[in-house]
């Protein structure tokens, strides 16, 4: 929780209205990342299949109120936003669970230097809130072994190169046969794919991915 959250009444991260962290009006205008009706007519922007990932899904489009809320969570110290954002994404996680079956959620880790600077790992907070809402476990199976360049402006090829050997299994981790890797924003799927490769090498049979937002 950020210091400002302790002193000020909650204001909606999407529109600024006082009274709640993420108001119902902003939640209503958040658009799904993909439409099931379009799934067989063209590419679905909310769904990704990878080399190591069986399937990854994102819940909402990274725009407008959601973009502002995600930026507040990631860079503004608004840790409490993880709860309402997870609640907004739970219906899509439920659809993924219909494919994967019940599975532990594994957050994408932050490097210790960035974790100290930010004060928390937003993916871990989201994974915890999603796990609570879906009746699942959240497991910290991965660690970030070295700091990487910020991914925002990199191409997918550059992102994959940037993430090479960036993750490893946590000490004494006992990976289950199926897991769902959780990140805040899905762009090229490079981060989820890199995590999935480490988990597969450690003995996980099937790795799925989930993100709150999809940036195209």
Dist CA 191 CA 160 (whole Å): 8
State how far the alpha carbon of 65 is from the alpha carbons of 72, 104, 163, 199, in Å.
11, 29, 29, 34
What pLDDT is attached to residue 38?
52
The string over 128-167, giving b where at least 16 C-beta atoms fall within 10 Å of a residue's C-beta and e elsewhere, is bbbbeebebebbebbbbeeebeebeebeeeebbebbeebb
Is residue 2 a part of any domain in this protein? Answer: no
Tokens describing residue 79: 């840790």
Is residue 21 a part of any domain in this protein? Answer: no
**SS3 at position 43:** coil
Task: Say if CB 27 and CB 90 are below 8 A apart.
Answer: no
Helix-, strand-, coil-residue percentages of the chain, each rounded to 5: 40, 20, 40
Report the predicted TM-score, pTM, of the whole model to 2 decimal places. 0.86
Q: Which residues, other chains included, contact 115 with Cβ-Cβ below 8 Å and sequence gap of 6+?
A: 121
pLDDT at 146 over 50: yes
Is residue 164 a part of any domain in this protein? Answer: yes
Rounded to the nearest integer, the mean pLDDT of the chain is 87
What pLDDT is attached to residue 2?
47
- For residue range 8-50, list pLDDT tens digits in order: 668 899 999 888 899 999 999 999 987 655 554 445 668 888 8
What pLDDT is attached to residue 1?
44
Is residue 170 a part of any domain in this protein? Answer: yes
- Which single residue is written with the structure tokens 């004494």? 172
Look up the CATH number of the domain holding residue 150.
Answer: 3.40.50
- 206 lies in which domain range? 31-214
Per-residue pLDDT, averaged over 102-106, amounts to: 98
* Domain total in the chain: 1
pLDDT at 164 over 80: no
């Amino acid at each position: 929780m950020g210091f400002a959250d302790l002193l000020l009444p909650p204001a909606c991260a999407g529109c600024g209205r006082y009274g709640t962290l993420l108001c119902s009006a902003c939640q209503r205008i958040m658009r799904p990342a993909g439409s099931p009706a379009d799934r067989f007519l063209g590419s679905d922007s909310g769904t990704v299949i990878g080399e190591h990932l069986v399937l990854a899904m994102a819940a909402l489009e990274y725009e407008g109120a959601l973009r502002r809320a995600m930026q507040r969570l990631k860079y503004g110290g608004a840790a409490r936003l993880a709860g309402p954002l997870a609640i907004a994404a739970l219906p899509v996680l439920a659809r993924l669970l219909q494919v994967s079956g019940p599975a532990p959620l594994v957050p994408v880790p932050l490097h210790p230097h960035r974790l100290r600077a930010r004060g928390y790992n937003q993916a871990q907070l989201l994974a915890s809130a999603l796990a609570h809402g879906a009746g699942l476990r959240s497991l910290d199976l991965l660690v970030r072994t070295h700091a990487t360049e910020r991914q925002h402006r990199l191409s997918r090829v550059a992102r994959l190169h940037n993430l090479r050997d960036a993750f490893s299994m946590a000490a004494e981790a006992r990976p289950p046969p199926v897991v769902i890797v959780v990140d805040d924003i899905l762009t090229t799927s490079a981060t989820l794919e890199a995590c999935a490769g480490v988990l597969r090498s450690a003995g996980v049979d099937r790795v799925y991915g989930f993100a709150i937002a999809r940036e195209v």
